[in-house]
Amino acid sequence: GGIITQTPKFLIGQEGQKLTLKCQQNFNHDTMYWYRQDSGKGLRLIYYSITENDLQKGDLSEGYDASREKKSSFSLTVTSAQKNEMAVFLCASSIVTGKISDYTFGSGTRLLVI
């Protein structure tokens, strides 16, 4: 079986800092995603990528950059961390069959900004 690995598991940053989160998958899935999970707000899509070097914005892309360097990796950059921000960032991948796909999620990066 495959696995999605997110690094780091925990990230503490300072206000205004640029922070990068990384995600690797070995499923050979075409599409990868970044979601943000806030307490009480469910998961919201930040960016996704359907192939290497492709980037598509989700609902929450403002304040973030993303990069799909190769098929197996997808990174997310918080361009300027906001003070007291606390959220979990989840990476996922899928083989897309039309609009119906099986998604696999990583275990997340927990961000705290002080």
Interaction of residue 66 with other proteins, rule CB under 8 A: no
Interaction of residue 23 with other proteins, rule CB under 8 A: no
DSSP string, 29-57: -SEEEEEEEETTTEEEEEEEESSTT--EE
User: Tokens in use for 26?
Assistant: 């070995």
Which of residues 16 and 51 has its CB atom nearest to other proteins in the complex?
51
User: Smallest distance from the beta carbon of 36 to other proteins, in angstroms?
Assistant: 11
Instruction: Find the binder of other proteins among 16, 70, 107, 112 (CB under 8 A).
Output: 107
